Amino acid sequence: MLKGKTAVVTGSTSGIGLAIAKGLAGEGCNIVLNGFGDAGEIEKLRAGIEAEHGVKVAYNAADLTKGSECAALIKFAEDTFGSVDVLVNNAGVQHVAPIEEFPADKWDLIIALNLSAAFHATRAAVPGMKARKWGRIINTASAHALVASPFKSAYVAAKHGIAGLTKTVALETATFGITCNAICPGYVWTPLVEKQIPDTAKARGMTEEQVKHDVILAAQPTKEFITVEEVAALAVFLASDAARSITGSMQQIDGGWVAE
């Protein structure tokens, strides 16, 4: 379906991003991985995806909090594989604290990585997509792009921003064979979610188990975490020709959270 095309997936050395990269590789996409981690482990991931799916996989360690490095990541992919056909803006970070205690540097980091990086990467990738009259931009947003939760001011603000960016880019590229959509997961069991549980417990004065069952899963009527494979399957669909008329959308995969 996507054989011979190239996908850049940010934040793809673990969690949702890694699952999306594997899903797209399974459809024949060459992949550019990006993210932090142990160099040896990242090389194992890169080589493993390449061997399993018979595609080419490269890795770039761009620091996406810097706009110039976002642009350099896109140029690296274009130089390596000839094009960027699918861009998945997935990289993200979280911090949980009451607004009056929220560190200003954490705000700046979250806005830079969760929102501004998507702008810079999209800005760099769109000219090539327009020239080829085909492209897929998929932004990993969140149910928090649609609703809010306490103690997550920066994250909620960034994800609401991603929703606006997604709609704007979709309108600007609609006549060029390009789609731009956002995936809005509920709570997915990833290292990002796991790491925020202690902070949430502290902020709410609860145990970690109480946070997991009474706060996190309380938001999802299914009472189950979303899996990274489910999110990846949705991303693969949005990259396909079957989804060519879907653009500017917020695709909820949240166990019914936002329906309430």
- The predicted-structure confidence for 192-213, as pLDDT tens digits, reads as follows 778 878 988 998 999 998 998 8
CA distance 211 to 203: 10
Q: Is 187 a catalytic residue?
A: no
Across the chain, what does the average pLDDT equal? Answer: 96
Confidence band (pLDDT; 50, 70, 90) for 260? confident
pLDDT greater than 80 at residue 214: yes
Q: Are 7 and 29 in contact (CB under 8 A)?
A: yes
226 pLDDT above the threshold of 90? yes
State the pLDDT at residue 155: 98
> How distant, in Å, are the alpha carbons of 23, 38, 81, 159 from that of 128?
23, 32, 13, 26
Tell me the pLDDT band of 177, cut-offs 50, 70 and 90: very high
User: Which of 92 and 1 is assigned the larger pLDDT?
Assistant: 92
Are 41 and 65 a contacting pair, CB within 8 Å?
no
Q: Can you tell me the distance from the alpha carbon of 134 to that of 77, in angstroms, rounded to the nearest whole number?
A: 16
Which residue did the predictor score with more confidence, 194 or 91? 91
Select which of 81, 155, 225, 257 is catalytic.
155
Higher pLDDT, 210 or 79: 79
Strands (E) across 165-219 are located at 178-185
Contact status, residue 180 vs residue 221, Cβ threshold 8 Å? no
Domain boundaries, the chain: 6-188+227-253
Residue 1 pLDDT > 90, yes or no? no
> So what's the pLDDT on residue 146?
98
pLDDT at position 213 is 84
- Rounded to a whole number of angstroms, the distance between the first and last alpha carbons of the chain is 36
Determine the Cα–Cα distance for residues 256 and 246; give it in Å rounded to an integer. Answer: 21
Q: Is the dihedral of CA 141, 143, 147, 152 positive or negative?
A: negative
Integer CA distances (angstroms), 183 to 9, 43, 49, 89, 141, in order: 14, 28, 23, 10, 5
**Separation of alpha carbons 59 and 33, rounded Å:** 5
Per-residue confidence (pLDDT) for residue 35, from 0 to 100: 97
Domain 6-188+227-253, CATH among 3.90.1010.10, 3.30.465.10, 3.40.50.720, 3.40.50.300: 3.40.50.720
Six token digits for residue 57: 């996989």
Mean pLDDT of 150-169: 98
- pLDDT of 99 above 80: yes
Confidence at residue 188, expressed as pLDDT on a 0 to 100 scale: 92
pLDDT value, residue 175: 98
Entry pTM: 0.93
Would the pLDDT of 157 be above 80? yes
Q: Which residue has the tokens 């969690």?
A: 15
Give the mean pLDDT of 141-149.
97
